Structure 1
């Protein structure tokens, strides 16, 4: 089994993993918007390319070879379609004719057996992809920045940045008797694209931070690969393959971690959506809906009947003074109040208790240990508590 085949397959499968993570993250946000559909089209085309090329290498079946050529021919079309959506303007007619005509041409050429089509088909495909990517990059560079928002400009900048990396690395995907590359590097470019796009969900991360992270990751991975190569006496080709595999594995791990971070952020924002979207004219309905949200799932409503074993006057005074209490605050209270709060938290296996109504007196107990490490989520919980209390006061006033 050729070492280059193993390395090429790993790189392509790692790129496929990054694409699937990115597709899942995008679908979680807004799968129905026109721009999202353009993104997903391009990502699905790249995914098809990664899968078909690996199956083609390992099976040698014509159907997978044809699918690989078709997908490769669709990549430039998907790139320009995405560029139009991001820039909110149509591509020049010449660009449209080139990418649309090229895609149709390679769908037809994909059906020609390799024995008749190579090497001229690969040369044509390389020229077509290079020209198309250059045209898409030109659209991004010459855009009217004033007509786009800051977020839109940031997205365009990151796609354009990825194209600058994709262009040279995709050259290595075309085998030539004159240039013998130890491994195809197109998958590395795809992984970098996935990282740039998934980092768009982290608004506080700048281009400089992203590039600095990439340089650090790349440097560490290369140092690790060199150490492995020296220890095992690897030649130049084997060292390049090892470095590429290490870089791809590292990038995939970072993309997976960022994907988890985005999903966690989405779950955290569910409390804000609860305030923005749910009814505010029904205190009990508001609290019941609150119990369905992931951050406070299973929250218990405690009225005076459930609190009959406690010193109600002292408990009311405590929560009027501090409407949201958590486990960490027990030590800072008076002896009587700390005993009351400790018993309350222990009895209902809660980490937080908040006041949601004075008339009638009602508390909500919930178990959310992760909040201790996420101050933003606890701030949102304070907002929910205040909103619930205001709704109950408004309802009492109407009555």
Structure 2
């Protein structure tokens, strides 16, 4: 494997790590940049970003002076990990742990500006020991936490952080032992991408730990199989197979990060009908539905005219909407030939996909067309909730009218 291929792979992985960190930073800033835990998390991200920016600067310019950024980032990482862990667990680390991490950070920050020829590799080995000590302290605090004092979401976050440390530590260690292990590149970028992926996944609470682990195993196996296949076809040596596997894993993780971030963004910007339900200030079902017509999901919904209903039998309509208050063209109830004719008339007259019963007496029906590509289990559930709320409003209005009489 040529040196140019190795350098290019290292550069691409460092750039991917920066992109993953920037994506996670954007997610945190959208949520709440002033939240204490988010501020600590952002500090971790920016310190790690500093390290990889230094690597990219050295690779692109060839100026070794940019190694100062790398060393500074590496020196601050244990402190950042400890601060984040304290924030997540809502408790202080033991004083001895704070002293070790604080003193080590000060020493290695100062040593980052030392250009003496004899300081490395001793400095790198000592820095490795300091980082491992910092990660061990953070992991120990997480494992020994008082789970009962934390909420379910806080415990989930702590578990994900512990999992990311478990995967990140071996990859970070390999950076310092490249020469000893005979590795072609530094693999810590993969650890950073894993951390970003796990952290962004916290916003999708419906995804449990087991699903995350299974997805990660699938990505590792896919990257390994592709690397082995390419290595066999191209007759690559061990370093070539490692580079191929690293590139594949980097690509898979980056796609997963960007996809999860995009999904979170879509959920945050979603104009779901449930938001309208929560914010509705009216008790008039007609006004309620009129306001909903501005929503893209039900835009163009029309009230079925009395003229159309006059052509149909009330008893049959009662039978139809008792079985399906939200009538779907794709799944009509099986109630006999006469009911089928009535259902077909309603849908054909308004080119509708759904007909919703708002009130029984006087009968109020709403027809709407929802493209099949927009249809989803969530959208169908939202329509059921809309129908139920409108029907309850109509019942309350009717009851108030009877009370006044």
TM interval, short-chain normalised: 0.7 to 0.9
Distance 2:313 2:58 in 1: 70
Describe the SS at the equivalent of 2:331. helix
Given that residues 293 and 301 in structure 2 are in contact (C-alpha distance below 8 angstroms), is that contact kept between their aligned partners in structure 1?
Answer: no
Q: Which moved more, 1:25-34 or 1:166-175?
A: 25-34
Equivalent in 337, 343, 349 of residue 343 of structure 1 = 349
Counterpart residue number, 1:20: 22
User: What is residue 299 of structure 1 aligned with on the other side?
Assistant: 299
1:219 aligns with 2:217: no
Q: Residues 261 and 159 from structure 1, CA distance in 2 versus in 1: closer, same or farther, beyond 3 angstroms?
A: same
Query: Is residue 199–residue 258 contact of structure 1 (8 Å, CA) maintained in 2?
Result: yes
SS in 1 for 2:259: helix
Deviation at 1:334, TM superposition (A): 1.3
Aligned pair 1:363/2:366, yes or no? yes
Q: Which residue of 1 aligns with 2:100?
A: 98
Partner SS, residue 176 of structure 2: coil
The answer to whether the 8 Å contact 1:352/1:368 transfers is: no
Q: Is the 8 A contact 1:15 1:190 kept in 2?
A: yes
**1:259 to partner: Cα distance:** 3.3
Question: For the Cα contact (< 8 Å) 1:279–1:285, is it kept in 2?
Answer: no
Could you say which residue in structure 1 is the equivalent of 2:131?
129
Q: How does 1:1-399 map to 2 (within 5 A)?
A: 2-61=4-63, 64-113=66-115, 118-174=120-176, 177-266=179-268, 270-281=272-283, 283=285, 286-287=288-289, 290-291=292-293, 296=297, 299-303=299-303, 307=305, 310-311=308-309, 314=312, 317=317, 320-321=321-322, 322-329=324-331, 334-344=340-350, 346=351, 351-356=353-358, 361=364, 363=366, 365-370=368-373, 372=375, 374-395=376-397, 397-398=399-400
CA distance in 2, matches of 1:256, 1:340: 44
Q: Which runs of 5+ in 2 are unaligned?
A: none
Once the 2 structures are TM-superposed, how far is the Cα of residue 211 of structure 1 from its aligned partner?
2.1
Per the alignment, in what secondary structure is the counterpart of residue 89 of structure 1? coil
CA distance in 1, matches of 2:34, 2:311: 52
1:33-73 Cα shifts (integer Å, max 9, x gaps): 33333333323333333333212221134674333322222
TM superposition shift of 1:5: 1.3
Q: Which runs of 5+ in 1 are unaligned?
A: none
SS in structure 2 at match of 1:181? coil
The two structures have a TM-score, normalised by structure 1, of 0.83
8 Å Cα contact 1:7/1:245 also seen in 2:
yes
Distance 2:90 2:271 in 1: 28
Structure with larger Rg: 2
Q: Write the distance in 2 (CA, Å) between the matches of 1:17 and 1:353.
A: 47
**Greater Cα offset, 166-175 or 121-130:** 121-130
Displacement after TM superposition at 1:110 (Å):
3.6
